Structure 1
Amino acid sequence: MRAWRNYVTGAAMLEDRLHRELQTGHGLSLADYELMVRLSEQPGGRMRMSQLAEDVASSKSRVSHQVARMEREGLLARRECQDDGRGVLAELTPKGLEALKTAAPTHVDGVREHIIDLLTPQEQEVLAKVFDRVITHLRSLDG
C-alpha cells in the first residue's frame, strides 16, 4: 500500500511541479510540451493524430481538442494525410519548434532536479524497467 500511495502522490506532485515550471517560464502546459516533443522526434515534425494520442497515453478526443487549441496559438497545424484521406496529421510549426527549443532546458532541468538526480543509476534502471513492464501490460489489454 505504501508503494502505491507514494507513487500516486509523488507522480501527481512531480507532474504538477513540471507543469508549473513550464507554465510560469514559457506559457506552456506540460501536456502541450509533451505533444511538441513527440512531434519533434518524427520526420517532418508530423505524425498521425491517433498515434500521437497513443504515444502520450491520452484519448483521441482530448488530443484533438488540445491540437485545435495549439493550432489557434500557431504552435501546431493539422494536415490531411496524403496516404489515407481519412487520416489527419498533427505538425509542429516553426513557431512551435521555437517554443519547444526555448522551453526544453527548463523541462530537462526540472526532470533532473526533481527525480533523476535523486536516484542512483541502479534506481533509474529499476524505475525504467518497472514502467516498461507496466506500459507493455496495459497496452496489451487494449488489443
Structure 2
Amino acid sequence: MSIDQTELLDGSFALADMVSNSSIAEDYRYMKHILEQDKQAQEMIARFSEMKDKYEEVQRFGKYHPDFHTVSSQIRTLKRELDFHENIANFKKAEKELESLLIECSRILAYSVSEQIKVPTGNPFFDESSCSGGCGSGGSCGCA
C-alpha cells in the first residue's frame, strides 16, 4: 500500500467518524431508539408489514382479486396512521436528514474527482438539485 492510499484511507475513516459523530447522526440514533421503545408504534409497523404482504398478493391480480378494494383501502389507512404517528414521523425526518448528509458527502467526493460523475441521490423527481442531464424534459428543468 502506498502513502497516498494510506492517506486516502485515513481521510475516509476521518470523514466516517465526522458523519457518525455529527448531530444529525446522533439525532437519528436517538429517534431510532425512541421508536424501538414505542410499543404502539412497533405494533403499528408489524400490522402494516402484514398488510403489505396481503397488498402485494392482491396486486398480482389487480382489480380482479376479490379483496382488491378492501386491502387497498386498508393499506392506505394504515399508511396514513403510520405517517401521523409522532415517533414514526420524527424517525422518518431524522432518517431523511441523515440521508441528505450522506448524499451531500457523496457529491463532494464525486465532484472532487470529476463533475461528470453521477451520484445516485434517490428519486430524481424530488431531488433538490437540478437535473444533471437526461431528464427528458427538453431542458425545461434548467439542465444542460
Normalised to the residue count of structure 1, the TM-score between the two structures is: 0.33
Larger Rg belongs to? 2
Structure richer in strand, relative to its length: 1
